[in-house]
Amino acid sequence: MRIAVASDHAGLPLKGPILEWLRGAGYEPVDYGTDSAEAVDYPDVIAPAARAVAAGDCQLGIVLGGSGTGEQIVSNKIRGIRCVEATEPVTALLGREHNDANVLALGARIIGQEIALSCVAAFVAGEFSGGRHARRVAKITQLEAAFGEEGRG
């Protein structure tokens, strides 16, 4: 499975360990940057990763920043992305199981490496449960489509 990974400068401390963990677990991470501690504008690195997931070039995405919040917001602006921000593995797993989340946002200033790797492990192992959750995800998709038709999305 190909997994898009992107980080701004603040998320960089988690990026290397996550890339290493993904490779060790048999996944194929695709690195969308950044590789420098020099400040970058997070939309510039996060949006390409989210677009890769939306286009199907990668099956999942992991986006990293200081808090993860801006990265989640940017990701969710891309049609077809359902990004969950997690600070512990249960939220990461439930995002996959209940919301069919395809991108995980993490904040390096909020959680440490051990919890981040636990979140990643839960996220990539999770599978969409379907059932009553499928009806809800379909409603999200309808909202997204209607928003786009209004010329705002």
Active-site residues, by number, are: 71, 98
| Buried/exposed code over 54-78 (b: 16+ C-beta within 10 A; e: otherwise) | beeebebbbbbbbbbebbbebbbeb
DSSP the chain: -EEEEEE-TTTHHHHHHHHHHHHHTT-EEEE----SSS---HHHHHHHHHHHHHHTSSSEEEEEESSSHHHHHHHHTSTT--EEE-SSHHHHHHHHHHH---EEEEETTTS-HHHHHHHHHHHHH-----THHHHHHHHHHHHHHHHHHTT--
